[in-house]
Structure 1
């Protein structure tokens, strides 16, 4: 950011502001906009010394609705800061351009971030943590906290600072190609595969019926698992997909259905603990 008023200390201060307050005052009308206002507002004196009108305009630009995934989306407030610093240093950066780029980027990074973090990384880390804490140990909790922060802090700092450095060029890179669609598609496939594998490893549906003929007893659950391990889990997953994707059932209706099936199955002996 040579030639602008932006210093490394200002970038660090803004990064901390975003990471601490990105979900503060979170409500439907403005979502994460208050966090952006605070971020740029805390630098108003550095950007526009003793110019109250310019400071007011700076914060008003970021009052409208803004919402994205806050970790991978950290590049967007970085881009905003870089463009605001260019504008404050005398460059011809229209107000509408700053607002338009912010609005254009929040959707793509929300898609990428949601697919990569809640859809992939977090379930993987949680599954490992659950395994480590299966005996009541706090090891899994500590593993999740340390690993998640160990990944997110360097990643978000890199994205935020890189956004400051590139400014509007970062927006052109993302919006000017199909890279975001390829990333979302690839991550979604990975996420679905990983979540499916994790769900299968933790889910169990035990058939309680047995076939008895004299001294001969046949456990139907063992037979099914011998032919195809966790076949009932697979059938339940396919049934859920059919109800949600083809019949437009809500998740609440599916949960209620499985609750009824579980209760009836338990009392009839069809399902076993």
Structure 2
């Protein structure tokens, strides 16, 4: 799109980079139920728009007004949307076949899909993986787990947001075809899900404690149930507790509060019976 028209109002690389950093630090500022990220989106667009429409106050006013409207997406992968929008505004300011309806239609069409992709991959899969590892590293009250999570999360999402924003500007509408490719999305989701299940399984086996203290006695013979279980499968009971919690959450719709109360009740009964 940008190659078909002669750019007389050109945004340089510094303008786009500054907008990317603005989005990075302000995408959740002034969050409200009326516009959600709309204020942050407008703030991100304001400097580029001033450079593109600074000689036309009415166009600048109209551009700022349209970007004050409702906007809500996952801010990491969704950072490609303001990048694409800046490219469209640049094309429009230079007489390209881009009208305000196309710009707003593109924003509205992309924010939902990228919210779904970003939430499922990053917030629903990647973040729990990091948290699971961090919980394991926090054994005994160690601060290493929290430090690990902060470094790993910020070390991932900051470069990701910057890359997606800049790539969105560079590719324009072509970015949508690349990032919305179902085959690529499914492969990434499957790989992260597999890694997440492996990590969560390892964390459950090392952090969930459900020791059996019941000892069977017959004359002088004593048999420790826990020792037998250790020979069969060392963390069999923690695994059963974990799977049971998952089944209750997945099949019965139990929330975290119900699960906590259920575990406390089960533990109390087992202690009273002398089993645990």
> TM-score under structure 2 normalisation?
0.84
CA-to-aligned-CA distance 1:171-193 (integer Å, 9 cap, x gap): 23334654334433443343334
For the 8 Å contact 1:115–1:187, the answer to whether it is kept is no
Equivalent position SS for 1:206 = coil
For the 8 Å contact 2:133–2:203, the answer to whether it is kept is no
Segments of structure 2 that go 5 or more residues without pairing to the other structure are none
Q: In terms of mean alpha carbon deviation, does 153-162 or 194-203 score higher?
A: 194-203
Aligned length: 271
Q: In terms of mean alpha carbon deviation, does 20-29 or 158-167 score higher?
A: 20-29
The 2-side partners of 1:187 and 1:108 are apart by: 19
Q: Give the 5 Å matches for 1:56-75.
A: 56-75=61-80
Alignment correspondent of 1:14: 19
For the 8 Å contact 2:16–2:48, the answer to whether it is kept is no
The 1-side partners of 2:76 and 2:209 are apart by: 34
For the 8 Å contact 2:45–2:82, the answer to whether it is kept is no
CA-to-aligned-CA distance 1:37-95 (integer Å, 9 cap, x gap): 11112333201014222122212222333222212222122112221222222211122
The 1-side partners of 2:209 and 2:223 are apart by: 20
CA RMSD, 1 decimal: 2.7
Q: Give the 5 Å matches for 1:1-273.
A: 3=7, 5-132=10-137, 134=139, 138-175=143-180, 177-271=182-276
Segments of structure 1 that go 5 or more residues without pairing to the other structure are none
For the 8 Å contact 1:111–1:184, the answer to whether it is kept is no
For the 8 Å contact 2:134–2:148, the answer to whether it is kept is yes
The 2-side partners of 1:98 and 1:213 are apart by: 80
Task: Describe the shift of the 1:194–1:132 C-alpha distance in structure 2 as closer, same or farther (beyond 3 A).
Answer: closer
